[in-house]
Chains A and B, each alone.
Chain A
Amino acid sequence: MYSNELKLKNAPLEGEVRIPSGCAVSAIIDRSGKRMTGADIIDSIATMHDRSNGLGGGFAGYGIYPDYKEYYAFHMFYNDFQSKKATEDFLITHFEIVYSSEMKTRKIKKVVNEPIIYRYFLSPLSKRLANSLLDEEQYVVHCVNKINAEIDGAFVFSSGKNMGIFKGVGFPEDIGRFYLLDEEYAGYSWTSHGRYPTNTPGWWGGAHPFGLLDYSIVHNGEISSYDANRRYIEMFGYKCTLQTDTEVITYVIDYLIRVKKLTLREVAKVISASFWSTIKEKSDEERAQEEFLRKAFPSLLINGPFSIIFGFTGGLMALNDRLKLRSMVCAEKGDKAYISSEECGIRAVAPELDRIYSPAGGQPVIYTLKEGAEI
């Protein structure tokens, strides 16, 4: 696992302890599929500067690699060149490396101690894939887990197709500029995160978003159901090494969508279930559905304060905990839709809006690309 000189302060690394955080989140999607640079999302999250404390910031962009959209884009942090060599030896035996390069970054005064950052576009070796008896996505997830768990000093922090996560220790606006998101990348959807951890996370991998293939999560909150969720989801082969809420929420959503084949709205009714008293008031059909989901997945109810933005290919979902213990605002203007911890994060980039509202606790807001949108 990567470490840097913050480690020298004797603070434990993220993953060795559980670090509570407050946060800011925001997201923008252009439902027509039109791509935009990261400039707006940086401005949006920068407006909520005081919701972060300089110990973590990050972004996820969708549609940013149109020329390589068939390939898994791995973003890597390396501690040193040994870990890079070990990882590349692993990659070459499991994937065809279509393209690789050091990530282009810009020196920013406030962003220090950056690891070695690389990017690879990969395609699984067909024979290895066939021999693994896994489907392609499982195969890639397996490889990601193997690198993260077994190669000391190496960390895959993004692994989806035609999307990428960019993150680090610093204020989010500085991290955005560090990665040149305002110049080098254009995507139809962006999410961002500014972190306010109570402790030094110690390394860049601890910053958010957290990703798994093309899923990414930014999250504000400290869930009180953490260990109930973790111990349940670990039954199904997931390993929560970072001990963060974001990590476990990503796995929960991945399990419900990819393995159990639930729809996004159904996922919302599992993780942010309506109260029994509310369910009782619903129509027969809705009641039957929600009762079933609560009875079948009680251990995946996520309790305590959270606002999350779940990014996936083609869309975003915003969701609050059932009591709405964290702020979150949604807005629309033409094809664009906005989600933010605070209204200022939206008004800063879109002063005039068609509609702005605060979704109720447990009420999912799902924005997807319009039919026929090219990405």
Chain B
Amino acid sequence: MDTFIPAEYEVVRNSELCIACRVCERQCSNGVHAYDKDLGKMTADSTKCVNCHRCVCLCPTHALKIVKSDDTYKLNANWSNQTMNEIYRQANSGGVLLSSMGNPNDYPIYFNNILVNASQVTNPPIDPLREPMETTVYLGKKDVEIKRDIQGRLIDNLPPQLKLTTPIMFSAMSYGSISYNAHESLARAAEELGIFYNTGEGGLHKDFYKYGKNTIVQVASGRFGVHEEYLQAAAAIEIKMGQGAKPGIGGHLPGSKISEDVSRTRMIPQGVDAISPAPHHDIYSIEDLRQLIYSIKEATAYKKPVIVKVAAVHNVAAIASGIARSGADIIAIDGFRGGTGAAPTRIRDNVGIPIELALAQVDERLRQEGIRDSVSVVVAGSIHSSADVVKAIALGADACYIGTAALLALGCHLCRSCHTGKCNWGIATQRPDLVKRLNPDIGYKRLVNLVTAWSHEIQEMMGGMGINSIEALKGNRLMLRGVGLNETELKILGIHHAGESM
């Protein structure tokens, strides 16, 4: 018999404000709200509430709020309510716990312990409102031999590069895990911004081939939706070796989210769970990776950069160094806070390392090996703001991927229930009635707004440092100082403590 698990959050309705218009009822895909005809008023079943705030946002009289329930088991510093509930849940079901979005637990966020420099007196800050302030970045290999033509002019023999107008891209989120309208919003925003979005491992919907020049397509262990035309359509191809939210395992897409359209795009049966293999079964070692990289390059005539994405794990520096020597043009590193549409809770919450430390070590190792130039480094896994972008670049990244922040712009409220497929915001769902709640005309504009706002902020911070080109920020660690970090952390990050001078 199932143990009852009390609601974690409670729906609180101000009856004086409520006009019983039943908007909340219509908006809630979890069936929390109901209208009691006899009483003539709204009721709520908080046990079904995932705290997505859809009802709160749409209530015309602001009669609703969601509060943390004060119901509690006997307080225990060792056995928290959540830990106990998880045990009840597993005893009820016998299953692996599933979660969505990034690791929410109380681990350090190193970005918040890093401060940025600014110019005073000895060199001038630069005013981005009055002077050019360049955020354009090219991703790809730079280590070419200088060649000249017969007139002595330099020959541009650089391998293919991705041009970004600002060092931000939308990270991999598959069609299936998120909706058609979410994908359309990302694609159109990427096009308007002059950046890239990433298909994730779910293939590319036919309707979106037209955004190809702003699209990165992914090749993951399940090879869903991978075919020649798919590779040809893209600006770059990403081999997904791992994901920050679930290092060591493959992607998960619950069958409930595999609609007819998703099934066609992924080239898999409808309604059946799509669980990618943990490894690529043609890659059991670094030399195998090289073969896949070059297979893809052959298939695309060496015209498109190949990205290799890995999760930030303990030995990430050596792994990245191996990838750099294997022909990859770009390495994407996904930190342990990275988001997901569905992952086993224990893996999401316990595997991997913070992106700040992984990035610092990868950048340093590639420099020690003298091969930093042979790859670009893109980082992901909880880039919260433009300040995190600035700090990541100063630590050594070429650009950042944002996933969760992009979804927030589209309306996501981080209820972390994507795996249920009942997203009230029309993002992480395939139910047509829910999907249509996300209007791509509005969604894409909000994404453009977000990235534009961040770019302005990046320019402000660069200008303050006396830097007017993002290239001069890359790896410029003297611009960073740690606060409240111990010596080991500072050593790994390769930065001084605040108060230590240059």
Q: Mark A residues whose CB is within 8 Å of B.
A: 17-22, 198, 221-229, 231-232, 234-236, 243, 260-262, 266, 273, 275-277, 285, 288-289, 291-299, 301-305, 322-323, 325
Contacts and interface: CB of A to CB of B under 8 A. Distances in A.
B124 A235 contact: no
13 contacts: A17-B502, A221-B123, A222-B123, A223-B123, A224-B472, A231-B367, A275-B134, A288-B154, A292-B158, A296-B144, A296-B158, A303-B467, A304-B119
Interface stretch (B84-92, B179-187, B224-232, B474-482): B474-482
Choose among A224, A260, A293, A298 the residue with the greatest number of B CB atoms under 10 Å from its CB: A224
Given A292-B156, A295-B138, A228 B474 contact: yes
A63 B171 CA distance: 59
B136 A198 contact: no
Contact of B146 (A231, A243, A261): A261
B156 A227 contact: no
A303 B475 CA distance: 14
Nearest to B132: A275
A157 to B, nearest CB: 22
Interface centre among A18, A296, A323 (most CB of B within 10 A): A296
B278 to A, nearest CB: 35
B501 interface: yes
A236 B371 CA distance: 10
A323 B146 contact: no
A284 B68 CA distance: 63
B372 interface: yes
A243 B124 contact: no
B158 A325 contact: no
B312 interface: no
Contacts of B134: 275-276
B126 interface: yes
Interface string B111-155: 000000001001110100001101011100010101000000111
A243 to B, nearest CB: 7
A232 B478 contact: no
B473 A298 contact: no
A220 to B, nearest CB: 11
B472 A323 contact: no
B457 interface: no
B124 A292 contact: no
Interface string B458-472: 000000011111011
A276 B142 CA distance: 18
Contact of A235 (B119, B131, B136, B367): B367
A22 B144 CA distance: 37
A227 B136 contact: no
Contacts of A234: 367
B370 to A, nearest CB: 5
Interface in B472-495: 472-479
Counting chain B CB atoms within 10 Å of each CB, the highest count among A222, A235, A266, A303 belongs to: A303
Q: Is the interface of B mostly helix, strand, loop or mixed?
A: loop
B156 to A, nearest CB: 4
Contacts of B472: 224-225, 228-229, 301-304
Contacts of B191: none
Contacts of A289: 153-154
B372 A232 contact: yes
Contacts of B466: 222, 224, 303-305
B303 to A, nearest CB: 16
Contacts of A277: 132
B263 interface: no
A352 B443 CA distance: 67
Given A18-B501, A224-B472, 7 more contacts: A222-B123, A232-B475, A275-B132, A296-B144, A303-B472, A304-B472, A322-B468
A299 B474 contact: yes
B161 interface: yes
User: Which of B154, B370, B472, B473 has the most C-beta atoms of chain A within 10 angstroms of its own C-beta?
Assistant: B472
A18 B136 contact: no
A200 B375 CA distance: 41
Contacts of A224: 119, 123, 465-467, 472, 476, 479
Contacts of B349: none
B388 interface: no
A18 to B, nearest CB: 3
Contact of B372 (A235, A295, A303): A235
Contacts of B475: 227-228, 231-232, 299
Given A275-B132, A289-B154, A228 B367 contact: no
A4 B67 CA distance: 68
A20 B146 contact: no
A243 B502 contact: yes
B123 A305 contact: yes
Contacts of A198: 122
Interface in B360-395: 367, 370, 372-373
Contact of B373 (A229, A235, A292, A322): A235
A224 B370 CA distance: 23
Contact of A304 (B123, B142, B158): B123
Nearest to A322: B468
A288 B473 CA distance: 24
B161 to A, nearest CB: 6
Nearest to A289: B154
B154 A295 contact: no
Contacts of A303: 466-469, 471-472
B146 A262 contact: yes
Contacts of A232: 367, 372, 475
Contacts of B501: 17-18
B79 to A, nearest CB: 48
Contacts of B131: 323
Contacts of B124: 305, 325
What 6 A-B pairs are tightest by C-beta distance, nearest first?
A18-B502, A303-B472, A225-B472, A224-B466, A298-B471, A227-B478
A322 B471 CA distance: 14
A234 B144 CA distance: 18
Contacts of A243: 502
A323 B132 CA distance: 9
B89 to A, nearest CB: 49
A20 B123 CA distance: 9
A120 B155 CA distance: 43
B121 to A, nearest CB: 8
Nearest to A221: B123
A21 B122 CA distance: 7
Given A227-B479, A232-B475, A299-B471, A325 B123 contact: yes
B445 to A, nearest CB: 26
A123 B220 CA distance: 60
B440 to A, nearest CB: 30
Contact of B477 (A231, A235, A288, A297): A231
Contacts of A299: 373, 471, 474-475
Nearest to A305: B123
A20 B474 contact: no
Q: Which of B119, B132, B142, B154 has the most CB of A within 10 A?
A: B154
A223 B478 CA distance: 12
A288 B153 CA distance: 10
Contact of B469 (A21, A301, A325): A301
B477 A227 contact: yes
Contacts of B122: 20-22, 198, 222
B376 to A, nearest CB: 10
A325 B477 CA distance: 23
Contact of A228 (B126, B156, B476): B476
A228 B471 contact: yes
A53 to B, nearest CB: 13
A225 B467 contact: yes
B419 to A, nearest CB: 41
A302 B472 CA distance: 7
